[in-house]
């Protein structure tokens, strides 16, 4: 049983590393600005996730405001390997809501 759990954990760790590499490889944000990381072309825009830095840049907020919003529940990240990721649609909707206020 213990070896099965270790194998499962190793598989999950590999999947998480592959997902992180994929998300970091995206080189352009939905608004057309280049990302700081990555060098691969985007083949399927539906697979793009934004990281915390992307969200801060798109919403024009600082790091402390970002973490305050995460703590208050205004932003609910997808957590992969200790990093925060977001759907571009969610962030665009939040940005539109902020602009209309």
Q: What is the pLDDT of residue 52?
A: 94
Match 């915390």 to its residue by tokens. 52
* pLDDT(90) > 60: yes
Please report, for the chain, the start and end positions of each structural domain, with discontinuous segments joined by +. 2-100
Q: What is the mean pLDDT of residues 86-97?
A: 86
Closest CA to 19 of 70, 83, 90: 83
**Regarding the domain delimited by 2-100, which CATH topology (the fold level of the hierarchy) does it fall under?**
Multidrug-efflux Transporter Regulator; Chain: A; Domain 2 (1.10.1660)
Q: What is the pLDDT of residue 7?
A: 56
* Structure-derived torsion over alpha carbons of residues 80, 59, 45, 75, reported in degrees to the nearest 10: 40
* Structure-derived torsion over alpha carbons of residues 95, 39, 22, 93, reported in degrees to the nearest 10: 10
Task: Pick 78 or 38 by higher pLDDT.
Answer: 78
Distance (Å, rounded) from C-alpha 80 to C-alpha 78? 6
Which residues lie below 8 Å from residue 63, measured CB to CB, with a gap of 6+? 56
Query: How many other C-beta atoms can be found within 10 angstroms of the C-beta atom of residue 51?
Result: 21
């Amino acid at each position: 049983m213990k070896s099965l759990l270790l194998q499962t954990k190793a598989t999950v760790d590999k999947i998480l590393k592959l997902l992180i590499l994929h998300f970091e490889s995206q080189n352009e944000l939905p608004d057309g600005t280049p990302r700081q990381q990555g060098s691969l072309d985007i083949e399927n825009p539906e697979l793009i996730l934004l990281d915390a830095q992307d969200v801060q840049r798109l919403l024009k907020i600082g790091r402390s405001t970002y973490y305050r919003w995460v703590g208050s529940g205004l932003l609910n990240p997808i957590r992969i390997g200790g990093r925060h990721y977001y759907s571009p649609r969610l962030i665009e909707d939040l940005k539109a809501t902020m602009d209309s206020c």
